[in-house]
Amino acid sequence: MPVQTGSRFPYPEFKARYDIPPQQPVHWQWSQLAQGLGDVEHPERGTLALSLPDGSAEVLRDVAVGYQVVPAGEHTGPHAHSWYHLSVVQTGTGTVTFDESGETVELNPGDILLVPAWSLHRFTNPTSQDLVLLNLMNIPLLARLGNLEVVQQQESAP
């Protein structure tokens, strides 16, 4: 690959390239979101992501927001990933197990849970109602840095 020659420009122009316009208020109606949750598949680590009117999935600077549904009677495999998620339990009940410590925490509507980056965890829903989590995640930042990674652990036999 040949070495290229760079250029220059005045500092005020450089600074202006990074001026970010103020964010505008946005409203998502729960009734529409809930209907959307019922209309799609529920992969292990997420069901729907919120977007801004312009289609951007970065709802706040460096933060994405999405819904994760653990269907009734199901569970996720144990996994860890490079992003955190701050979860708010919307509906349903279940548990989260942090595999490194073996600790299991019960989840109920209104609970808030922080799963730090690289924390090996899994969700379980033994009930007859879907467990719905609203997740705030720093995925946009990690994507820009080229650091999105997931490690799926093998489940041990019962």
> Per residue in 67-91, pLDDT tens?
999 999 999 999 999 999 999 999 9
* 136 Cβ contact partners less than 8 Å away, ≥ 6 residues apart: 63, 64, 65, 85, 86, 87
Residue type, position 141, single letter: L
Contact 133, 79 (CB under 8 A): no
Res 138: pLDDT? 95
Indicate the SS3 state at residue 21.
Answer: coil
Q: Which backbone phi and psi does 18 adopt, to 5 degrees?
A: -110, 5
Res 47: pLDDT? 78
Please give the model's pTM, rounded to 2 decimal places. Answer: 0.75
Res 42: pLDDT? 80
Indicate the SS3 state at residue 135.
Answer: strand
> Per residue in 122-133, pLDDT tens?
999 999 999 999
